[in-house]
Homo-oligomer: A and B are copies of this chain.
Amino acid sequence: MPELRKDPIVARWVVVNVEKPYLPQDFNVSPFSWKGATGCSFCTNNEHLTPPEIEAISEVHRAPNTPGWKVRVVPNKFPALKIEGTLDKQAMGIYDMSNGIGAHEVIIDNPDHFKGIPELTDIEVEYILKAYRSRSLDLRRDRRFKYLLIFKNVGVEAGASLEHGHSQLIALPMVPKNVKEEVKGARHYYEYRERCIFCDMLAYEAENGHERIVMENENFVSFCPLSSRFSFETWIVPKQHSIDYAEIDDNRIKDLAKILKETLYRLKKVLGEHPYNYIIHTSPVNTDAHFSYHWHIEIMPKLTRVAGFEWGSGFYLVFTPPEIAANYLKEVK
């Protein structure tokens, strides 16, 4: 009999296949067919192919838009939203409308076309995380923005249109639905229990034999949540309650770089090259504080397709129970 589990934050049920769990090789994941670096606008020496850079991290002195960078942030050439203009929200019959004000930036993770995060050095991953922080701190000074979404798509199946490793930041003029739900769920729990739901999730895992914990260091835990939506879904959560990613200090960035790199490395070892997304879940900006929220990173391997059942219900089918997924990830050397 499969098991139903309810996510305590957003009240989403998932169906966990505890009877005949899929092993990593049971997923029909085909390795990426790399097109290669030719003409890639994110590669070093092709700096002229992107719009002028917004910011870059470099270990050497360099002129903007020239080689020598470690991480480079540029405006998205085909932005989902546009930064120029006054935000104009209005009603249209029964609908609410707005012009498409926002920002859409690309964080080029590193100059090498073929390196993913597991192939970078710890310090190179720190640079990426520092670029996330710095862009988040800069963009929130624009009071039109209410949410700064940082995410990464890897592989065509996960929606990546370019194969050179990169992350994206989209600044939104309203708090998006999914964030509202999570923030609301955390607040409800906090109001009732006077504790943070994310802190309680970590405590629950620690008290229950660390079954779903992949690894931890001084400041972070990486684990497969009991009510994961996706097989091999893994979250990285700061141990100390903290609502806002951008408040992370350099010392914690070191720990986060290590655990992020190592977790992605283990996922790659177990699943082979596979499509995935990761998303930084953090609190809204330029709005009320959300003390009951707790920022974290959700890594979502895309090993199966979302179909009518998921779209129609919001239920998800989990083919590998998180306990078993975590065990695979734990065993990687």
Contacts and interface: CB of A to CB of B under 8 A. Distances in A.
Contact of A2 (B100, B157, B174, B306): B100
B94 A204 contact: yes
A307 B100 contact: no
Contact of A309 (B149, B306, B309): B149
A277 B311 contact: yes
A272 interface: no
A181 B313 CA distance: 10
A187 to B, nearest CB: 15
Contacts of A101: 1
Total copies of the chain: 2
Contacts of A281: 312
Interface string A260-296: 0000000000000000011101000000000000000
Nearest to A156: B305
Interface in A161-203: 168, 170, 172-174, 176-179, 181, 197, 200-201
A165 to B, nearest CB: 14
A222 interface: no
A3 B2 CA distance: 43
Contacts of A309: 80, 149, 151, 159, 168, 170
B97 A3 contact: yes
Name which of A173, A279, A309 has the most chain B CB atoms within 10 A of its CB: A309
Interface in A283-333: 300, 305-315, 317
Given A151-B308, A168-B308, A313-B178, A201 B80 contact: no
16 contacts: A4-B99, A5-B96, A5-B97, A8-B95, A13-B174, A93-B204, A95-B226, A151-B307, A153-B307, A153-B308, A158-B307, A159-B306, A159-B308, A181-B314, A277-B312, A278-B308
Given A147-B313, A168-B309, 11 more contacts: A1-B100, A1-B101, A3-B99, A5-B97, A6-B97, A13-B177, A80-B317, A158-B305, A159-B305, A160-B307, A277-B307
Interface of A: 1-6, 8, 10-13, 15, 80-82, 85, 93-101, 147, 149, 151-153, 156-160, 168, 170, 172-174, 176-179, 181, 197, 200-201, 204, 207-208, 226-227, 277-279, 281, 300, 305-315, 317
